[in-house]
Amino acid sequence: MRVVKILERLLATIPIMFGVAIIVFFFMRLTPGDPVDIMMGQGGAVSTGEIERLREEFNLDKPLLVQLWLFLKDALRGDLGYSYILKRPVTTLIAERLPATIELALGALLVSLLFSIPVGILSAVRQNSLLDRLTMASSFLGISMPGFWLGIILILLFSVRWGWLPVQGRISADLKLQQVTGFFVLDSLLTGNRQALISSLRHLVLPSITLGAPVAAVVARVLRSSMLETLRSDYVMLARSKGAHEWNVVLKHALRNALIPTVTVVGLQVGILLGGNMIIEAVFGWPGLGRMVVDAIFNRDFPLIQGSVMVYAFTFVIANLAVDVMYTYLNPKVSL
């Protein structure tokens, strides 16, 4: 039953993706700046004939609705077109870059949950203690600190000054890793490449911390406040009156209920982790989707922008679906 509902929801993402793509299609063409002009530079050294030829090649000479029709027709067949600038299929470009972005997002999610869940629980259990005050103050810092700044500071300390961790990239340049999935950690596990595993993990540490810090801060705060609420609830008192150990009370009765609002927030943050990491990818030279999209926007590389936005929409919807599925497990009153 649940599987059928999940499949239904997955099918429903297709119109969402197309809707988003259509909106982006028009908005990009509304923004000033023409891709061919940008490609040719400002000099005017290129003949008008050449420009016309390029426009024709990219179908930019046709009416907007015809362009849209051509785009949608190809997209339905799984062809997202060619990048104007990179001259390669958009699907290939995304397939190359997306695993890096997802890997970083998962790393950041893991780091942030590893930090925020214990902190959220402990600061609720020991409310107003020194630990609580310290972590809540630092979580405030985590929220307000700009990512690029934290990234640069971490690089300065851990890479430049102490030399513990690599400065940038996904893996040491001298290591050879056979690509299977595009996820370097997974690939090195699959091919049994220990050196590559260590190297790719080490490369993940700093960007994950940088990207995960604000997420950890938000999740810790939400978890703390919902734990404070559930810890005061009647059912926690009931569990105590049964003779349950305090840790059992906290980790089972209070936490299970406090996770319900927390999961919603985590789901929203996952969307941010996937779609809001352009700056951090730039700071750490991380070859992910974000940097490519920023370049594509500056170059008015319409097919690449449209394709990437569809992927973003898809990941966002999937993250939301994952939250909804988890919700049904956490909250018996909710079903898909």
- Which stretches of the chain bind another protein, using CB under 8 A? 232-235, 237-245, 248, 253, 256-257, 260, 330-333
Shortest Å, Cβ 81 to another protein: 48
In the complex, least distance from residue 331 CB atom to another protein, rounded to whole angstroms: 7
Calpha distance 166→159 (Å, rounded) = 6
Q: Are 320 and 94 in contact (CB under 8 A)?
A: no
The least distance separating another protein from the CB of residue 199, rounded to whole angstroms, comes to: 38
In the complex, minimum distance from the CB of residue 152 to another protein, in angstroms, rounded to a whole number: 43
Nearer to another protein, 258 or 319 (CB): 258
Residue 333: CB minimum distance to another protein, A: 6
Q: 């604000």: which residue's tokens?
A: 214
Report the alpha-carbon distance of residue 318 to residue 123 in Å, rounded.
32
Write down the least CB distance from residue 253 to another protein, Å.
6
Q: Which two tokens stand for residue 119?
A: 């902190």
What letter does residue 301 receive in the DSSP assignment?
Answer: -
Q: In terms of CB distance, is 194 or 245 closer to another protein?
A: 245
Which lies closer to another protein via its Cβ, residue 81 or residue 120?
A: 120
**DSSP letters for 171-191:** S-TT-----SSS-HHHHHHHT
Structure tokens at 299: 């170059």
Residue-by-residue DSSP string for 81-109: -B-TTT-SBHHHHHHHHHHHHHHHHHHHH
Residue 44 or 332: the one with the smaller Cβ distance to another protein is 332
Measured from the CB atom, the residue of 176 and 232 that comes closer to another protein is 232
When the beta carbons of 13 and 248 are compared against another protein, the nearer one is 248
User: Helix axis angle, 194-231 relative to 90-125, nearest 10°?
Assistant: 40
Instruction: Considering only CA atoms, give the Rg of the chain.
Output: 24
Q: How far is CA 247 from CA 130, 204, 217, in A?
A: 20, 33, 24
For residue 135, the minimal CB distance to another protein (Å) is 20
Q: In this complex, which beta carbon is closest to another protein, that of residue 114 or of residue 238?
A: 238
Beta carbons of 116 and 142 less than 8 angstroms apart:
no
